Amino acid sequence: MKISSEDFAILKGIIEPIMKEIPFKKYAAEGFSPKRYRWDLFWIAQRRSNLQLGCSLYEKGLNDDHIDTALRKITGVK
C-alpha cells in the first residue's frame, strides 16, 4: 500500500466505528456495491471527524486507487 502506516491507522480508527453502525450487509441488501460502501464510509468519516484527511491524502500523492486499497483492507469488503 502506498498510504503511510500512520495515515492508515488514522483512517482505520475513524472508519471502524462507522462500520459498526452501518454494516455492509445492510448496504448489500439495498443493492449497493462494495465500492459504494467503502467510499460512503470514507466520506461519512470525513464529515464526522472534521479532519481534512481526504485532502491530505491526495496532497501526499495518493489517488483514489491507493485510498480504495486501504479501504478494502480496513473493511474487508472487496
CA–chain centroid gap for 45, Å, is 7
What pLDDT, on a 0 to 100 scale, did the predictor assign at position 38?
Answer: 98
Over the stretch 15-74, which tens digit does the pLDDT of each residue have? 999 999 999 999 999 999 999 999 999 999 988 887 677 778 888 999 999 999 999 999
Question: DSSP secondary-structure letter at 77?
Answer: -
What pLDDT, on a 0 to 100 scale, did the predictor assign at position 14?
Answer: 93
Contact yes or no for 1/69 (Cβ under 8 A): yes
Nearest Cα residue to 12 out of 36, 38, 33: 38
Q: Is the pTM of this model over 0.85?
A: yes
What pLDDT, on a 0 to 100 scale, did the predictor assign at position 52?
Answer: 73
Domain boundaries in the chain? 5-75
What pLDDT, on a 0 to 100 scale, did the predictor assign at position 51?
Answer: 66
